[in-house]
Chains A and B, each alone.
Chain A
Amino acid sequence: MLILVRLIIVAAMWLGLAATAQDEPVDERILLTFIPNVQFAPFYVGIEDGYFADAGFNVSLAYLQEPEVLDLIAVGQANFGIVSGEQVILARSRGRDVVYVFEWFQKYPVGLVFSSALDLSDLANLKGMTIGIPGRFGASYSGLTTILGSAGLTEADIDLREIGFNAPEVFCLGVIDAAVVYVNNEPLQIKNLAADGDCGAVSDVDVITVASQVDLVSNGLIVSRALLEEDPDTVARMVAGLASALRSVIDNPASAYLASLAHVDSLPADEALLNALESAAEEQLEFLASAPDRGDIARSRRQLAADLSERFERGALTQLNVLLNTIELWDAENIGYSDLSSWEAMRDTLDSMGFLEDDAGSLQDMFTNRFVTGADR
């Protein structure tokens, strides 16, 4: 009798184990850059709203510098990471065999911020100006080189100052005419400072984006070639999960902001704002049920920003507005898709900067769109 009971228990446990082994999501770490920030909302939504779980992953996040993200993936210590496109070209030229599988930012996020009092309708006017940049590396430097190139200028025509990631402070001290920044973030901060009268003589700012000049490949998901060849299914599921999460953020930013609260400590969220966002998120769900098109959804985002700005102080909405600005850089008909021409443009930019000593190798080897077609709407 006892033996029978035991047998039943063992059999049940075995069956149970087998069942969970099939459904249990796999632990997977995604390497991001920078720090926890509302700009990473698609990953927070992917975790909080189950998009990664649906794809079979239990995702955790880590924040590193871009070169570290890339190297860890190249040597197989992590499977997935987010870096900007030029990193892929640079790293591949130095023997890191990684492949770019999903373009997250459809528009290159870098631009030039300057006082509205300045006339830069003709970019050639940049000649002789003092321009601040975090440093002579990374997306900012590539972006600036591209802007200068499209105006027929080179770095020698301007006075370039390396200022670290302190553009708002340094710009408002008045020591630079313009700063190379991430267009979704710093211009907003500078506008806020200017509106408070804390930005010297500057009362408002304008932005020239790199994307308005040239289509450069931007931030996206990378994997190692080894993973791509040995386990394409895992890559496909991750891309699908990220695409769904990204689409959800684009469609419902209020809900994405709420999901980000669990991951970003410093997000402003008093009770009134939370209530407003929760009801906005619910209304948005009903609106989405009516199958609106991309244009309608974009209008609904602008409406959200307008509604909230009437009810809340500017400071409380800064991070939400950063998210809304950033969504404009993500939203596209074919999310995840990167164009060969944008890779060529990036390679040419890097080449003109003298960053590509060795042969960069075939651009076609660097990226693939084979996983993203299914994510199209």
Chain B
Amino acid sequence: MGAGSTLRRISPFLTIACLLLLWQWISARGIISHILVPPPTDVYQAFTDSLADGALLKHTLVTLEEMFFGLLLGVGIGLAIGYAIAKAPILENILSPVIVAFQSTPIVAYAPLLVIWFGSGIASKIVTTAVIVFFPTLVNTIVGLRSVSPNLRDLMRSLKAGRWQIFRHLEAPSALPVILAGLKTSTTLAVIGAVVGEFVSQGSGLGYLVTSARNLYDTPLVVVAVFTMTAISLSLYGIVAYVEWRFLVWQRRSSA
């Protein structure tokens, strides 16, 4: 490993460090009012305070719970319907008006309706999350399954493979890279879904922490909550990327 690759490896952290310094400098010099941009030191203080009194952890866990079940539901349904559509293209004609309408309507616009329909508890946030992650999963499942090589299908037929064997040995592994790519998108969207739900009906979670901190004029805490969302988003992305790296060994070699 040469000096160049070390530099490349640490450069993202350098970028973050530089931004933090710039941020501190701007607020220390009073270039932008602290009311609008609190200094990093205040944000750090708010971070340790909210960690100490358990509020940050509590709200983070709530958001994570909503995201977990939302992903489970949205990805599950996306996979199932995606498989059905890939197998029976007529379903695409039947379902696409509904699916496209759902997708092209901003979730923020109908999130209040979801709250009325599914209540102000965790269910409505799970549904907003599920709705938002459903579409990328669906599309990637269809694309993944349709990208299965027709020659390999012939091979499986010539081997007299059954429907389940074709799914297990051919369709699933060959669609997996595309589906995992979709899952990366979905996990970041899941944060949006959960937080949109929390904005609409207050209770707990990081979206609520933003609103309540905002209403107490605690801008540093708002920034802490926002950064926590970023961290969740990045972590989940990282987890899926790791799963990808771990399970798609064959792709790693081919790209090397």
Chain A–chain B contact at Cβ < 8 A: yes
Question: Across the interface, do A163 and B35 meet the contact criterion of CB distance under 8 Å?
Answer: no
> Closest residue of chain B to A166, judged by CB?
B116
Contact of B208 among A95, A135, A166 (CB under 8 A): A135
Contact of A166 among B35, B201, B211 (CB under 8 A): B201
Question: Across the interface, do A169 and B116 meet the contact criterion of CB distance under 8 Å?
Answer: yes
Q: Does A200 contact B (CB under 8 A)?
A: no
Q: Total number of A-B contacts with CB less than 8 angstroms?
A: 62
Chain A 68-104 interface 0/1 with B at a Cβ cutoff of 8 Å (1 = within)? 0011001100000000000000110111100000000
**B200 to chain A: which residues have CB within 8 Å?**
164
> Closest residue of chain A to B203, judged by CB?
A162
Chain B 214-225 interface 0/1 with A at a Cβ cutoff of 8 Å (1 = within)? 111111000000
Contact of A94 among B112, B203, B208, B218 (CB under 8 A): B218
In the bound assembly, the distance between CA atoms of A71 and B38 in angstroms comes to 13
> Closest residue of chain A to B124, judged by CB?
A164
Chain A 122-151 interface 0/1 with B at a Cβ cutoff of 8 Å (1 = within)? 000000000000111110000000000000
In the bound assembly, the distance between CA atoms of A65 and B120 in angstroms comes to 21
Q: Does B24 contact A (CB under 8 A)?
A: no
Question: Across the interface, do A75 and B33 meet the contact criterion of CB distance under 8 Å?
Answer: yes
Number of interface residues of A (CB under 8 A): 26
Separation in Å of the A103 CB from the closest CB of chain B?
21
Q: Does B165 contact A (CB under 8 A)?
A: no
> Closest residue of chain B to A137, judged by CB?
B215
Contact of A162 among B34, B116, B120 (CB under 8 A): B120
Chain A residues with a Cβ under 8 A of chain B:
65-67, 70-71, 74-75, 90-91, 93-96, 134-138, 161-164, 166, 169-170, 355
Q: What are 28 A-B pairs with beta-carbon distances under 8 A?
A: A65-B214, A66-B215, A67-B214, A67-B217, A71-B217, A74-B33, A74-B35, A75-B33, A75-B36, A90-B215, A90-B217, A95-B34, A96-B35, A96-B217, A135-B203, A135-B212, A136-B202, A136-B212, A137-B211, A137-B216, A162-B201, A163-B120, A163-B201, A164-B112, A164-B201, A166-B115, A166-B120, A169-B116
